[in-house]
Structure 1
């Protein structure tokens, strides 16, 4: 189990080395407020385009539409994550207004509840009963990675959380749930006004179907990439960076979300600077000695699924 002091200790050690090396990380803390707004607009446009394809082209586009929508749901979740760290805008009111109007309710989330839970994840990383994102492994891990993955895929608790978000989460106030529902009622009413009832019902159905299927599959893998198969003992030993390139990364880790170790070490770095922060860390001795980096999801000795299997054999 990690303690608060161990988490802060790892952060302090890396930051001290950054300072000794000239503080090159400071540039990476600068925010470009237009970047997330453009990315949110892109996500909304992609989701509406996928809906239009199903409505106007036909059901043969359904599999691709579900994949696109689920991927953009994942990307919007990453924007919400940055908002939780005030990485959209350092002015809290502006930061939360952007997320609260354009992102959080869309993905069934309360900004306030998300920030509180995510703070616990950072400060109580790996602590049973304290880390809300902790995936409890069985006493003995299966020897094949697919068994570990399918165990999470078919976990009702995991599916419920991925599908319902804060609408079905314990500890979320009824006023927050009501706010999410009210936002959706208003958004659907506007969509009916501009696109008609048929398009709006198709959008709602596709949104829910994507969350129940492809989004759950992607999110489960993404969550397991972060910490699963690692042993608590500090941020460096219990968190991975996924330095993966190509289409698989775009699908599973949009918006550079795979640089999870880098994020835990410097949470104030916005998502669009994470690759540069990761490159900076890789030049540092503490990161090279103790950090875990995977360069693939499924193929090769440094693939993340191989790490799950190695832990099962150890």
Structure 2
């Protein structure tokens, strides 16, 4: 779709732009956790003699479901009006944010800046040269191994920054990808992110207690899959965009700066399971209509294709 001529005069029907709902996001997150639980059950009944041969597949599938939880949280970030604090929102954070080492506030901070400034110096996800230089593409993907441990430090730095504001610039620039160059010590948005870190810290304490009691289970059932999911996510950030500066933000330019991964055929099934869950591969449509629920993107893609054929 990014190769098609996208014009501002095309206005999709309102029903194709329906936003995500909190209830729908919770159902998706619970479905992903059901998949993780099934993998854990399979690993638990695997005979010890073959576990190191049999376990890698469920570990990869768990990593794919953690990647899917990130996509669920990503859809929550794009809700037109951020949901008011409630038990359902907290439940979504417990299901889809804390396990992938983030909070809704943190993801809103860096991800919305990516949409405001795609493929520019202010875009936290912009990796110049990663689209056409092999060594940069490989390095940026391997960076996923570092992101998870670094983000695991984020609640520690964030909670300290509540007490010592001089840490806030480092927190925002290094851990949230802020490239504005502004002094963040007085940022109300950043302060919300710092306060949200208490929940992430509590989650890590619970995981540490479980790891102390069952180190092998937590290691192969969560920690290693999370590292793999970090690589999957780093791959997706590189693969979804053309890492060349955009001259403007017109729809045609935005389309030219994105890459679709529609995941068809048998190989597509594997890609959807591991790399591009829940239609996130329809990335041109997502950038053109970020407020539309991800489940709407295939229909939006088909609508644009029909309309462009008419023109």
1:38 to 11, 19, 27: 27
Conserved 8 A contact 1:108-1:167? no
User: Residues 279 and 112 from structure 1, CA distance in 2 versus in 1: closer, same or farther, beyond 3 angstroms?
Assistant: same
Q: Deviations over 1:235-279 (max 9, x none)?
A: 122112222213233121011111111011111111111111111
Query: Which of residues 29, 37, 41 in structure 2 aligns to 1:52?
Result: 41
2-structure distance, mates of 1:163, 1:261 = 30
Which protein, 1 or 2, shows the higher relative CO under an 8 Å CA cutoff with sep ≥ 6? 2
Question: How far has the Cα of 1:91 moved from its partner?
Answer: 3.7
- For the residue of structure 1 that corresponds to 2:127, the secondary structure is coil
Give the match for residue 102 of structure 1.
95
Please, what TM-score do these two structures have when normalized by structure 1? 0.70
CA displacement at 1:81 relative to structure 2: 0.2
- Residue 183 in structure 1 maps to residue 175 in structure 2: no
Give deviations 1:38-82, integer Å, cap 9, x for gaps. 221121122222223223314232111210111001100000100
1:218/1:179 Cα in 2 relative to 1: closer, same or farther (>3 Å)? same
Asked if the contact 2:39–2:61 (Cα under 8 Å) also holds between the matched residues in 1, the reply is yes
Cα shift at 1:108: 0.7
Counterparts of 1:83-102 in structure 2, within 5 Å, are 83-86=76-79, 91-94=83-86, 96-102=89-95
Distance 1:288 1:248 in 2: 34
**RMSD across aligned positions (CA):** 3.4
Q: CA deviation at 1:229?
A: 5.0
Question: 2:64 pairs with 66, 71, 75, which one?
Answer: 71
Over 3 Å counting, the alpha-carbon distance change for 1:31 and 1:150 in structure 2 is closer
Aligned pair partner of 1:239 in 258, 274, 278: 258
Match of 1:150 among 123, 138, 141: 138
CA distance in 2, matches of 1:187, 1:149: 33
TM-score (norm 2): 0.70
2:224 pairs with 1:224: no
Contact 1:83 1:96 (8 Å CA) reproduced: no
Task: Report the CA distance between 1:166 and its aligned residue.
Answer: 6.1
**Contact 1:83–1:99 at 8 Å: present in 2 too?**
no
**SS of 2:10 mapped into structure 1:** helix
Question: 3-state DSSP class of the match of 2:306?
Answer: coil
Q: Quickly say closer, same or farther: Cα 1:229–1:116, change in 2 above 3 A.
A: closer
Number of residue pairs aligned between Structure 1 and Structure 2: 259
Where structure 1 has 5 or more consecutive residues not aligned to the other structure, the ranges are 1-9, 290-314
Question: Aligned equivalents of 1:231 and 1:174: distance in 2?
Answer: 31
Say which of 121, 125, 132 aligns to 2:124: 132
Pick closer, same or farther for the CA change 1:276–1:165 going to 2, 3 Å: farther
In structure 1, how many angstroms separate the alpha carbons of the residues matched to 2:19 and 2:77? 16
Q: Which residue of 1 aligns with 2:288?
A: 265
1:203 is aligned to 218
- Flag the 1:30–1:125 CA change in 2: closer, same or farther, 3 A: closer
Choose the corresponding residue for 1:29, options 18, 22, 29.
18
Q: Is 1:111 paired with 2:104?
A: yes
Q: CA–CA distance in 2 between the matches of 1:43 and 1:27?
A: 25
| d(CA) in 2 for partners of 1:46, 1:188 | 23
